[in-house]
Structure 1
């Protein structure tokens, strides 16, 4: 599993609403590990893909650009974080 980050700059309240709209556009069960964090500059979205190649292909695709635009979000800064080696969820957490 590969972790990448999308940084959206702007008013956090507007960006969080756009993030909610974006999630509503995605098919249920598509996301494995997805975290949205409010930052001083806006929001940061940490998202996993099966591999770096899949992340690169998706994050540079017209499908992704159209999804972001449809949600009313600005184009993000995209950052590669690396391969996920482990993660911990609380007992009973819904893992899909």
Structure 2
């Protein structure tokens, strides 16, 4: 639920008080360049991510509440198949 004008700096400023950040990514619409409402922050330490969730989840940004959570790793379909023995 990020605003359309959100960028990497926006996320960095929101999340940096909780710990060292390794990377920030904002998903943008390829045609308009505007934020699609989704971003990712990669912290150096798990505890920093947990603190950011506790502090920011549900907070208002404009007229919307932010949804902040840990990213669940996706399992690729090819990873589900084992090689024959």
Question: What TM-score bracket applies, with the shorter chain setting the length?
Answer: 0.3 to 0.5
Greater relative contact order (Cα 8 A, min sep 6): structure 1 or 2? 1
* Structure with bigger gyration radius: 2
- Larger proportion of strand: 1
Q: TM-score, normalised by structure 1?
A: 0.42
